[in-house]
Amino acid sequence: AQSVTQLDSQVPVFEEAPVELRCNYSSSVSVYLFWYVQYPNQGLQLLLKYLSGSTLVKGINGFEAEFNKSQTSFHLRKPSVHISDTAEYFCAAPRRGSYIPTFGRGTSLIVHP
Amino acid sequence: KAGVTQTPRYLIKTRGQQVTLSCSPISGHRSVSWYQQTPGQGLQFLFEYFSETQRNKGNFPGRFSGRQFSNSRSEMNVSTLELGDSALYLCASSEAGGAYEQYFGPGTRLTVT
């Protein structure tokens, strides 16, 4: 099984609508969870991270994610998306016994006007 | 602080040639990791250097190598290029690896013809 699974390869949504990008992790990874965003022709930028503490994590650009241990999930949400949010989003976590992050396959968020 | 810089941004090489890519981390960051990103395989970890020593290595053939200098700048080298080496190569730096977030450069787009 994949260590970090992003359930949707593509998510189309209209501008100003809410969005949720799904991420599930397996027991083979440590519970240090990250979401990165990659805009076209750019590198990855950290959106938010969960290391411990509050299960609701707020990040940049109005994004937030909720760590759910029972569901082994770390879904990313935004209440109202903009055209500029169109990008590739990656969920990541390090394998147990390592600190090197394993990345999900990515979810392409496409925001339509 | 200046971000992570990578040079060159684009490269076109021929099969059988070799290539060297360069990465300058954020000032004060001692850990540099390299990733290969392709549409088919996603983001795959190549190796990590910390204080001039390779600390972790992914599952890539020996044609892929790297090094880190005393100023934390890093280079990666790919010898005997194959068509399948065409990819975006991303460099990421962090203060000390571990659970700390990584800061990515814009990448070098390598095309092998």
Residue B42 to residue A103, Cβ atoms within 8 A: yes
Residue with tokens 């496409």: A110
Q: For chains A and B, what is the number of CB pairs under 8 angstroms?
A: 45
Does A35 contact B at CB distance below 8 Å?
A: no
The answer to whether the CB atoms of A100 and B92 lie below 8 A apart is: no
**Residue B111: strand, helix, or coil:** strand
Task: Name the residue in chain A with its Cα closest to that of B47.
Answer: A100
Inter-chain CB proximity B102 and A51 less than 8 Å: no
The tens digit of pLDDT for each residue in A81-95 reads: 999 999 999 999 988
- The pLDDT value recorded for residue B102 is 87
Q: What are phi and psi of A107, to 5 degrees?
A: -125, 125
Q: How far is A113 from chain B (nearest CA, A)?
A: 26
Q: What pLDDT is stored for residue B97 in this prediction?
A: 60
Question: How far is it, in rounded angstroms, from Cα B11 to Cα B96?
Answer: 30
In the three-class reduction of DSSP (H, G, I as helix; E, B as strand; rest coil), residue A28 is classed as coil
pLDDT band at A106 (very low <50, low <70, confident <90, very high): very high
pLDDT-derived band at B113 (thresholds 50, 70, 90) equals: very high
| pLDDT level of residue B90 (50, 70, 90 thresholds) | very high
Q: Which residue has the tokens 């590198």?
A: A43
State residue B98's pLDDT score. Answer: 58
For residue A101, cis peptide bond before it (omega within 30 degrees of 0): no
Contact between B77 and B65 (Cβ < 8 Å):
yes
How confident is the model over B67-87, as pLDDT tens digits?
999 999 999 999 999 999 999
- Per-residue model confidence as pLDDT tens digits over B38-58: 998 899 999 999 999 998 899
Q: Are A92 and A107 in contact (CB under 8 A)?
A: no
| DSSP-derived pairing of the beta strands A56-58 and A64-68 | antiparallel
Sheet holding B64-68, edge to edge: B5-7, B19-24, B74-78, B64-68
Out of A44, A45, A99, the one facing B99 most closely (by C-beta) is A99
Shortest distance between the Cα of A54 and any Cα of chain B, in A, equals 17
- A25-79: pLDDT as tens digits: 988 888 889 999 999 888 999 999 998 889 999 999 999 999 999 999 999 999 9
- How close A10 gets to chain B, by Cα (Å)? 14
Give the separation between CA B48 and CA A61, rounded to whole angstroms.
29
pLDDT at res. A23: 97
